[in-house]
């Protein structure tokens, strides 16, 4: 099971990048991320070239999430850093 929480800048970035309908869909995708194992259709995987620190997954339609892997007392925790169309990868390349 992937535990996640929204990062400090998520709301601002989501409001800028997504329509209200896309924001609702994105939250449903995040809820599915909590299933064990995460459904394959989410495309949850390590973002290439980040040594496992950054991960990506689908957020509905053409949108993607960028998540930062960290740890807390309960184990792995993924912080949702960003969401938007494919060009968000450019910020993390």
pLDDT on residue 23: 93
List the structure tokens of 17: 């990048």
Confidence of residue 91 (pLDDT cuts 50, 70, 90): confident
Alpha helices in 18-93 (DSSP H): 20-33
pLDDT of residue 37: 83
Query: Helix (H, G, I), strand (E, B), or coil: what is residue 26?
Result: helix
> In CATH, what number is assigned to the domain containing residue 24?
3.30.2310.20
- Residue 78: band (very low, low, confident or very high) from pLDDT cuts 50, 70, 90: very high
Structural domain tally of the chain? 1
**Residue ranges making up the domain that contains 22:** 4-91
Cα atoms in the 13 Å half-sphere on the side-chain side of 18: 26
What's the pTM?
Answer: 0.89
| Contact partners, residue 12, CB within 8 Å, separation at least 6 | none
Lookup: tokens for 8: 């400090």
pLDDT in tens, 19-75: 999 999 999 999 998 888 889 999 999 999 999 999 999 999 999 999 999 999 999
Whether residue 1 has pLDDT greater than 80: no
pLDDT at 93 over 80: no
Question: Across the strands, what pairs with 85?
Answer: 63
């Amino acid at each position: 099971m992937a535990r996640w929480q929204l990062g400090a800048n998520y709301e601002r970035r989501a409001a800028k990048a997504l329509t209200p309908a896309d924001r609702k869909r994105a939250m449903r995708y995040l809820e599915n991320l909590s299933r064990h194992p995460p459904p394959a259709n989410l495309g949850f995987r390590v973002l290439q070239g980040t040594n496992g620190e950054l991960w990506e997954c689908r957020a509905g339609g053409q949108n993607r999430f960028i998540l930062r892997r960290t740890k807390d007392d309960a184990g792995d925790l993924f912080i949702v850093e960003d969401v938007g169309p494919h060009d968000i990868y450019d910020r993390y390349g």
